[in-house]
Amino acid sequence: MIADRVREYIVEIEKSSVSNKEELEAFRMRFISKKGVLTELFDGLKSAPAEDRRALGQELNALKNLAQDRFKEFNETIENGSEKELSATVDLSLPVTPGEQGALHPLSIVKRRIIEIFERMGFNVSYGPEIEKDWYNFSALNFADNHPAREMQDTFFISKSEVATREDVLLRTHTSNVQVRLMERQKPPIRSIMPGRVFRNEAISARAHCVFHQVEGLYIDRSVSFKDLKDTLYHFAKEMFGKDTKIRLRPSYFPFTEPSAEIDVSCFICGGSGCNICKHSGWVEIGGSGMVDPNVLENCGIDSNEYTGFAFGMGVERITMLRYGINDLRLFTENDIRFIRQFQGA
């Protein structure tokens, strides 16, 4: 019985052919798989008369080898076939279509330029965390607990207690947090700029956004004066906006500086005669500045009798908008490559 079936299967296998993967799989299922005829025949061997078993076993093994060899053959033919098909459709000698090239974001271009100018004046670059403790964003910077100045900057809190504590966690509202971290870990002289992303709970519009960028600056040493601040900002403005640029420091208030001043530069679009960008005033504001409040120095472990310093903070979006005449903040975050491409080499 078994011997007859073996002969039939040998004929069947020799005659069979496959032309695709599905047929190959059907062949495998029929002969080789655990549920295939070979398994069944080997099982049947147990009930065959003892004296025939040896001979039958040999025949079955031969059948098994035949099935496996055929399977290998079929498999190779199909694989080669698909390679041939592929090379018939892909012409490897065709010239390559170049991939689309990206471009530096205008904010990155301006940030790099700001860094470059200050680095040449001897400032190094420091970074700090965007998720920050109240202490670094407010308390160490001389914002009294519950002082309304905290409301100047609509804060995104991550964890907040009833009464403000130094342990509250928030998204930093300015890069001034890095000043504190730097002063805590480094002895003067300190001369550093700190670029970074900041967050405020503001409705998004052409003129306001909840995420934007600042570059903070800090210079602490013996006898640093307001004149040093003025000279530094003046040099920066000329390098950034052109050699005829003037600056104006307008009295202002920040808890962490005393005295404090708003930084204006003469409008480089109209040269000061008045235009839409400067709202016909001849001046545009780019940031805040001042002499570091002695309380801040003391909070950070620096002796305010020995050292003085100046600090400033500027808006990168603001400078970029002025420089390129961009009138809507939202363009920066829409990621439209056509917008971003316009600033290369500008």
What φ, ψ does residue 238 adopt, rounded to 5°? -70, -40
Q: Which residues contact 329 (CB under 8 A, 6 or more apart)?
A: 204, 205, 206, 207, 208, 209, 212, 317, 321
- Closest by CA position to 318, among listed 291, 294, 288: 288
Residue 293 engages ligand DAH in binding (rule: CB under 6 A): no
Q: Residue 132, interface with ligand DAH (CB under 6 A)?
A: no
Q: Which is nearer to ligand DAH, 200 or 323 (CB)?
A: 200
| Shorter beta-carbon distance to ligand DAH: residue 72 or 207 | 207
> How many CA atoms lie within 13 Å of 149's alpha carbon, on the beta-carbon side?
15
Residue nearer to ligand DAH on the CB measure, 218 or 278: 218
The full DSSP string for 35-61 is TSHHHHHHHHGGGS-HHHHHHHHHHHH
**254 binds ligand DAH per the rule CB under 6 A:** yes
Least Å from the CB of residue 210 to ligand DAH: 14
- Window contacting ligand DAH (CB under 6 A); options: 51-59, 63-71, 96-104, 287-295: 287-295
Q: How far is the CB of 261 from ligand DAH (least distance, A)?
A: 8
Cβ nearer to ligand DAH, comparing 106 with 288: 288
d(CA 199, CA 186): 26
Q: In this chain, which stretch among 143-151, 162-170, 308-316, 332-340 interacts with ligand DAH, using CB under 6 A?
A: 308-316
Between 10 and 149, name the residue whose CB sits nearer to ligand DAH: 149
Binding-residue pattern over the window 183 to 222 for ligand DAH, x denoting contact by CB under 6 A = ---------------------------------x------
* Residue closest to 326 by CA, chosen among 307, 298, 346: 346
